[in-house]
Amino acid sequence: SFRQHVPKGLKTPPGPRGYPILGNVLELRKDTHLALTRLSQKYGDVMEVRIGTRPVLVLSGLDTIKQALVKQGEDFMGRPDLHSFQYISNGQSLAFSPDSGEVWKARRRLAQNALKTFSIAPSPTSSSTCLLEEHVSKEADYLVTKFLQLMDEEKSFDLNRYLVVSVANVICAICFGKRYDHNDQELLSLVNLSNEFGDAAAAGNPADFIPVLRYLPSRTMQLFKDINRRFSFFVQKIVQEHYTSFDKEHIRDITDSLIEHCQEKSVGEDARVPLSNEKIISIVNDLFGAGFDTVATALSWSLMYVALYPDIQKKIQEELDQTIGRERRPRLSDRGTLPYTEAFILEMFRHSSFLPFTIPHSTTKATVLNGYYIPKDTCVFINQWQVNHDAKLWKDPSTFNPERFLNAAGTEISRTESDKVMAFGLGKRRCIGESIGRWEVFLFLATMLQQLEFSLRPGEEVDISPQYGLTMKYKKCECFQIKKRFPTKSSP
C-alpha cells in the first residue's frame, strides 16, 4: 500500500479491490446505498472503498456509527472539501462547507437559537401553541382544500407538486415572514427541483472524486450550479428587502434576527469568535434549503405508504377519531397521545430511509476506529440505510410494519426500538431541524388524514423504488386519489 505511517499494531480498513484511476466507481454508480450495504456484509462495519483515486471510509452498523459520531465525535465532525460543495451558498454553507472549527460552531449555535425562537417557542401573540403550529395548520388546511379541488377537476393527480410548496411556505414564514401563492413561478421553479440538487449533492457523485470529470460537460453539474445560483439570488433579494424595512424594535423572522445579530455583535457577547456579516446572513440560506426538501420528501413517502396500505391508513384514522374526534383540528400537543400515528412516522423514516447517507463527514485528525487506523482528512460516508435495514437490528426489515415500534397493548412507543432508526444523523453534526421536522411531519399528516382518505387509481402499477440521491424519492406518480371522510363545517 502507498499509505504511509500506519502505526504499529494497527490495520488499515479492508475493502474491495478497485480499478486503477476509477477505483470502485463502476460498482457504486447505481443505488450506491445498496451497493455499499452489500459490500459491508463482506468487509464489515469499517470499510474502505475508492472512488476515483480517493479513499472513502464507509461506516455501517449502529454501534460502530455511534462510536465514531458520538464517542469519538470530535474526530469525525469534519466535512470533506468536495468539488460540488463549493457551489452551495458560494462555498459558505453551514452544512456543506469544510469548516468545522470555531466559526462553524458559532454559526451552528446562532442557527439553532434563531430556529427555536421562530418555530417552537411559545407564541406571544396568537392562540396557537407556537408559530410552527400556526403556519403548519394553515398550510395543511390549504392542502386539503386544494386536493379536493384537484380530485374534482382531474380525478387523479400528482400531489407532490402541491406538497412541496406548502412545506416551503412553512419554512418561508419562519425565515422570511412571507407566504407564496401555489402558482408563484419563481418559488415553483426553486422548489420543484425533483432531483436537480440531490443528484449532484448525493454521496459518491463521481465529479467530486475524479478531477478530470470537472472539465467535461455534465448536465447534472450544470443544473446543480444553476439551481444554486437561482437559490442564492432568491434569498439575496429577500434579505435586501429586510434590510430596507428593518426595525430593531420589531424583529419579524429569522432574517431580521440575523440582521440584528450583525448589528449587535461588535458590542455583544460573541466578540470572541468574529463572524462576518456574510457568514451570519447566509445562515438563512442553509435553513431555507434544508427545511423544505427533507420535510416534503418525508410527507410524500408518508402519503404513498398510506395509499399503498389502506389497513394501516384506517388504523391511523381510527386513532385520530378516538383521540381528537372530528370537531376540532389536530394540534402539536396531541402528538404524545397518538402512538400508532407516531409508530407509522417512525416506520416511514426507517423503511424509506430517504436520506440513505448523512452529508459526508471527514476526520479532523488521525484516529483509530475498531482497531483500524484512519488518517486525518479522510472522507467518511455514514450508511443510514444499512442501519435501518440491518437484519441484526430488525425483524423482516423489508416489511412495512408500524407495530414493530409499539408495545403489545399498542399503547406505547418502545424507546429501544425508536432509538435505532437513523434519519437525522448523530453527534456533533446531527440535524439542527430534527424537532421541527418531526413536529411538521406529524401535524401535516394528522391534519390531512383526519379529513381525507388517500388511495391510488385502481389497477395502477406504481413503482416506489427510491431513486438514488441526497434525498431519495419515488418516480413521479400522477395517480393519487382522495375522498373526503366526513362533511366539514365551514369554519374549523
379 three-class SS: strand
CA pair distance 13, 373, nearest whole angstrom: 7
| Cα angle 23-28-29, degrees, rounded to a multiple of 5 | 105
> Would the CA dihedral through 276, 282, 287, 289 be positive or negative?
negative
> Which stretches of 85-214 are assigned E, i.e. beta strand?
none
Q: Is residue 379 part of the contact set for ligand HEM (CB under 6 A)?
A: no
Length of the chain in residues, anyone?
492
Q: Nearer Cβ to ligand HEM, position 110 or 431? A: 431
Q: How far is the CB of 276 from ligand HEM (least distance, A)?
A: 18
Q: Is residue 313 part of the contact set for ligand HEM (CB under 6 A)?
A: no
45: amino acid identity, one letter = D
Q: Is residue 473 part of the contact set for ligand HEM (CB under 6 A)?
A: no
Do 353 and 388 meet the contact criterion of CB atoms below 8 Å apart? Answer: yes
- Residue 54 vs residues 80, 199, 456: alpha-carbon distances, Å: 11, 20, 45
Q: Nearer Cβ to ligand HEM, position 285 or 481? A: 285
Instruction: Write the binding mask 114 to 153 for ligand HEM: x where contact by CB under 6 A, - elsewhere.
Output: -x--------------------------------------
Q: Is residue 204 part of the contact set for ligand HEM (CB under 6 A)?
A: no
Using CB under 6 A, pick the residue from 239, 423, 443, 446 that binds ligand HEM: 423
Using CB under 6 A, pick the residue from 59, 235, 295, 306 that binds ligand HEM: 295
Q: Tell me the residue number closest to ligand HEM, measured at CB.
A: 433
Cross-sheet strand order for the sheet of 54-59 = 46-51, 54-59, 379-382, 361-362
Q: Nearer Cβ to ligand HEM, position 150 or 345? A: 345
Residues 223-282 that bind ligand HEM (CB under 6 A): none
Using CB under 6 A, pick the residue from 88, 203, 359, 449 that binds ligand HEM: 359
Do 431 and 112 meet the contact criterion of CB atoms below 8 Å apart? Answer: no
Strand partners, 47: 58
Using CB under 6 A, pick the residue from 18, 291, 402, 466 that binds ligand HEM: 291
Q: Nearer Cβ to ligand HEM, position 115 or 281? A: 115
Burial label for 465, CB within 10 Å (0-12, 13-18, 19+), is: exposed
Using CB under 6 A, pick the residue from 68, 114, 379, 436 that binds ligand HEM: 436
Q: Is residue 448 part of the contact set for ligand HEM (CB under 6 A)?
A: no
Distance from chain centroid for Cα 223: 21
**Interface with ligand HEM (CB under 6 A):** 94-95, 108, 111, 115, 171, 286-287, 290-291, 294-295, 298, 355, 358-359, 423-425, 429-433, 436-437, 441
